[in-house]
Amino acid sequence: MADTITVNGTAHPVPDDPRVSLLDFLRQHIGLTGTKKGCDHGQCGACTVIVNGIRINSCLTLAAMHDGDSVTTIEGLGTPDEPSALQRAFLEHDGFQCGYCTPGQICSATAMLEELAANWPSDASESLEESIAISGEEIRERMSGNLCRCGAYANIVAAIEEVAAGGRS
């Protein structure tokens, strides 16, 4: 059986050209353009997707390395008819302007909240041992790999804080 990558529940054959990044595979090969290319060098976070539950920069990995992996993109988190809690919170808090970094911010935040729930410490954490309290500073630290040039950070943090507190469910 050919190597496959499962994206949002659908299996796709791994591309022949080994140079194809996971990002270009998503955008160019299977038409999922919700994942954005901002820098192609892992510097901006616009291409963030969730692979086997972990957020990664899809520009920094080759599609050929993901045989058998399960990838969730922004299209897999929610749709215009059924947006996720974070997608709704970003809309209400105006957590974006141009919208280009937004899918990456939302994918990143989705996985980041799981990391918080699993008690993974960050540079902003008071302790490496005890359970981590969700705070603005924790969220800012953990989201710092996702750039927003429009400067919507304050609104993005407000949206994530609301969902972290159980809102927009």
Partner 1 sequence: MTVHFKQDEPDNSNRLDGMKQGVLGEPLPRIEGLAKVTGTAPYAAEYPIENCAEGVLVTSTITRGKVTSIDRRSVLSMPGVIAVVDDEKMCTRAAQGTANEAPTQGPKQVCYWGQPIALVVAETFEQARDAAKHLKVEYREEDGAPLDPNAVEPEGQEDETVHQGDLAHAMAEAAHNVDVTYTTKGHASAAMEPHAAIAQWDGDKLTVHASLQMLNYNITELAEALDMEEENIRLVSRFVGGGFGSKLGISEEVVAAALAAKQIGRPVRVVQSRQQVFQTVMRRSETTQRLRLAADSDGKLTGFGHEALVSNLPGESFAEPVLQSSHFLYGGENRELMLKVARIHRMTAGSVRAPGEAVGMPTLEGAMDVLAEKVGIDPVELRLRNIPEQDPEEDLPFSSHKLADCLKQGAEAFGWDNGPRKPRRRREGEWWIGTGMASAARVHNIAEAKARVTLKADGTALVETDMTDIGTGTYTILAQIAGEMLGLDPKQVLVELGDTRHPRGPGSGGSWGAASIGSAVYVACKVIREELAKKVGISEEVLELSEGKTATGESLTDLLEGNDLAREGHYEPGDIEDDYTASGFGAFFAEVRVNHYTGETRVDRMLGAFGFGRVLNAKTARSQCIGGITWSIGVALTEALEFDPRDGHLVNCDLAEYHVPVHRDVPDIEAVLVEERDGAASPIQAKGIGELGMCGGAAAIANAIYNACGARLYDYPMTPDRVLAAMPD
Closest distance to partner 1 from the beta carbon of 88 (Å): 8
State how far the Cα of 51 lies from the Cα of 149, in Å rounded to an integer. Answer: 26
Residues 6+ apart with CB under 8 A from 6: 12, 68, 69, 70, 71
Q: Which is nearer to partner 1, 17 or 114 (CB)?
A: 17
Q: Which is nearer to partner 1, 78 or 121 (CB)?
A: 78
Q: Which is nearer to partner 1, 6 or 97 (CB)?
A: 97
Give the single-character DSSP code of 21.
B
State how far the Cα of 16 lies from the Cα of 61, in Å rounded to an integer. Answer: 15
Closest distance to partner 1 from the beta carbon of 13 (Å): 16
Closest distance to partner 1 from the beta carbon of 49 (Å): 11
Q: Which is nearer to partner 1, 116 or 157 (CB)?
A: 157
| Helix (H/G/I), strand (E/B), else coil: 54 | strand
State how far the Cα of 36 lies from the Cα of 67, in Å rounded to an integer. Answer: 22
Q: Which residues bind partner 1 (CB under 8 A)?
A: 17, 19-20, 24, 27-28, 31-41, 43-44, 46, 73-75, 78-80, 83, 87-88, 90-92, 94, 96-103, 106, 124, 136-137, 139-141, 143-157
Closest distance to partner 1 from the beta carbon of 168 (Å): 12
Q: Which is nearer to partner 1, 71 or 101 (CB)?
A: 101
Residues 6+ apart with CB under 8 A from 117: none
Amino acid identity of residue 4, one-letter, is T
